[in-house]
Structure 1
């Protein structure tokens, strides 16, 4: 007898749309830092002058971002967490002059697929606020009136719970994830003049700590002091973009037409002193 030769059969299956959404969402929001970053950017883009980030048990239990921005109009509730829906651009041409932190319209949709998401919001033109609860596909499951000032509160519960492996890794590396989140949030604290940003952490035992805060200052200098302290501020040198001298143009073979006045941007900031 001879062994029968079996020809392998390859069958292609279309992945379920729900599974596709979960897979893609896991590539948009990869870490705790990414989740907080997306929500803080939305708050600042909404014109908020106060943004509070609140985490329970390093973000495992919940992440809450509260702002006093413009809020969400009721006409936009249904599309708020749908993929590729955004108020920040209308078409591809708008990308040339985009002046917001984000515009893809994927953050809230992705977060819905990764955790339990709820939003309390009140638009400036509304008399009362609204609490919205969403399912993992971004559809509203509950809507009820709520008392609050104009602005928006986004609450994430059990982040990454829909991805067991990611969730386990998140809990295993809690302190690293939390540290990276603070590092990213610090950058927004530095550049956001006129915006008060604070971050508080509530431990699993209920102890509350303020881990980061700025004071809605109108200067970068004050923001640096708030984040890094007065001593660190003393070790920095402020710099500003200025017109070059004629000798500099000659040295690099440039003409006055190549001056800073012809560049569509201006650079200012602070740099460490080269004393160490």
Structure 2
């Protein structure tokens, strides 16, 4: 019987490896940019056509390659960075596995031009499907240019899995930013379809952050810098006012390599405790430098997930560094030492400090507490007679009137009567009797009362319902937008004076991607070039004058909405719109508004829960209320 186990041919093995390394054009962007950085380049240009599907080219002015190196670079596991097994534990460069160029050559048509400073002529190589078609000398400047054309031309099935150009471009921009952010001393540019998206001049880290994230961060960054023998932490965190309702601009780098770490994110979030709202997320660009031997960066093909030898030390140090920076920002704001004219006119400033006044000041107890040894916490004895009536403070004052009497109660409108908390010794019994209604009920709403500007108590024929106003409105809007997004386009409220919206490139790419879906739910937005859009119209729910802010918030929510769940773009957008436009907790409502909201809720197909599964209301039935007060 013949043997059945065979070695895979090189071209098939390379395509399998490419499945791990090159999942989409953005994967190749990451690998090629990192190679250019490792080559010592001071200028790196990225050129994109059709979101990398047609062309993806990286040009650098690094040290270049010899003719032999240029040829062998496309072999599997060919690398200049590993000589012995111990080198794996001392890695300080970006690409080191030697899989990137071999994987790219397996799934695209590749052209390479390169020259070293000591060579008169450079080398030109053309590869297709892992096969070298041409190799010859060429005239070229010092550095390297790699062009990747027609990605996945040899694997049509994988090409079909690529998203739209706008979606793929957004991923490319993300990878570009992650590399450019880590190396502010290198010039980077990104050109897409002939239009320049980024032009990042060399500078310091703060300048690079502002170049990428926008001028709004210019005066809102707090410097972080802590050093110890084990590790260093440096970078910037955004001031509390830059916190967002979604995970916005958050970048972590370990030894200049971008990483994703929920563990370290938690360390920073806890450092911001009580400085930002619990449902907000801080912005930061932080770098951790530590010995490569205590970090394992080879645990994931993208090298974005790493392991630390001692995670607790890293966690504690990052948290402490951010806390220290925020404390300095909070308690040491900039001081203006020039005296106001009004202050200069005061007696203490304008008149001389006489000897008598000096003697009186020196003899005061306050002066002694600051000048005498061990007197910093001295407290003078007080007159005990002043405290003899301290118990009276805790005595209840006499009631001014009986609130339960008829004359007093008549002073309240029906919807303004006080609603006091019910205290029971058996909380579990109460909880078990709160019934979540799981079907559309026909209610006749009689009276409404708003509690804490968040809950609506609506009296019904057989009890009352406790409605959460924000969650209820979210359900109402979700069903409304769902109908629009799946065929019945909503009416657009056109603006008499269109508003222009300028976005950072990554957000501009995202907005371009979701324009068709936005149009279905009532937005009318036109691209204006150079990452600028004109808002010609909005859904009727968007308040006039709030067009720009609502769209910016929608983009921010869409970027980070349920990233762990594979919703369609349309479903994400509908959920984001419903959440954004819903009446917020804490907003006071008029009685008519409360009645209208509750009645509209019960016309929904699924009134009892939000799209994410949170209950919109709880029903208290009359028989349960009678049992609570032992009336049965």
Interval of TM-score (by shorter of Structure 1 and Structure 2): 0.7 to 0.9
Q: Report the CA distance between 1:15 and its aligned residue.
A: 6.7
Equivalent residue, structure 2, for 1:271: 237
* Residues 30 and 66 of structure 1: CA distance in aligned 2, closer, same or farther (over 3 Å): same
| Residues 36-45 or 176-185, more deviating | 176-185
Secondary structure of 1:133's partner?
strand
1:78 is paired with a residue whose SS is: helix
Q: Secondary structure at the match of 2:64?
A: coil
Unaligned runs of 5+ residues in structure 2 are 244-632
Please state if 1:214 is matched with 2:166.
Answer: no
Whichever of the two has the greater Rg, that structure is: 2
Give how far 1:169 is off.
Answer: 2.1
The Cα shift of 1:13 comes to 5.8
Partner of 1:64: 57
Cα distance, 1:167 vs structure 2: 0.7
Q: 1:110 to 1:127 in 2, by over 3 A?
A: same
CA shift, 1:239, in A, is: 1.1
Partner of 2:161: 169
Q: Equivalent residue of 1:63, what SS? A: strand
Structure 2 equivalent of residue 180 of structure 1 = 171
Query: Which residue of structure 2 aligns with residue 115 of structure 1?
Result: 108
Q: Deviation of residue 267 (structure 1)? A: 0.6
List per-residue Cα deviations over 1:111-156 (Å, max 9, x = no partner): 000100110001111112221112322x432122222210000000
SS of 1:104's equivalent? coil
SS of aligned partner of 1:145: strand
Distance 1:80 1:15 in 2: 22
Q: Pick from 208, 215, 224 the counterpart of residue 223 of structure 1.
A: 208
What does 1:62-141 align with in structure 2 at a 5 Å threshold?
A: 62-137=55-130, 139-141=131-133
Who is 2:139 aligned against? 147
SS in 2 for 1:267: strand
- Say whether the 8 Å CA contact 2:25–2:53 is kept in structure 1: no
1:190 to 181, 184, 194: 181
1:124 and 1:89 map into 2 onto residues whose CA distance is 24
* TM-fit CA distance, 1:76: 1.5
Aligned match of 2:426: none
Q: Normalization by structure 2: what TM-score?
A: 0.37
Give the whole-Å Cα distance in 2 for the aligned partners of 1:99 and 1:124.
Answer: 24
- Secondary structure of residue in 2 paired with 1:19: helix
TM-score (norm 1): 0.82
SS at match of 1:154: strand
**Contact between 2:41 and 2:60, CA under 8 Å: does it hold in 1?**
yes
Give me the whole-angstrom Cα distance separating, in 2, the residues matched to 1:191 and 1:22.
Answer: 30
Higher RCO structure, 1 or 2 (CA under 8 Å, sep 6+):
1
Which of 149, 157, 162 aligns to 1:157? It is 149
Q: Does the Cα contact within 8 Å between 2:187 and 2:200 map onto a contact in 1? A: yes
8 Å CA contact 2:107–2:155 kept in 1: the answer is yes
The answer to whether the Cα contact below 8 Å between 1:62 and 1:157 also exists between their aligned partners in 2 is: yes
| TM-fit CA distance, 1:164 | 1.1
Describe the superposition over 1:74-104 as per-residue Cα deviations: whole angstroms up to 9, x where unpaired: 2313311000110112121112222200100
> Does the CA-based 8 Å contact 1:48-1:70 persist in structure 2?
yes
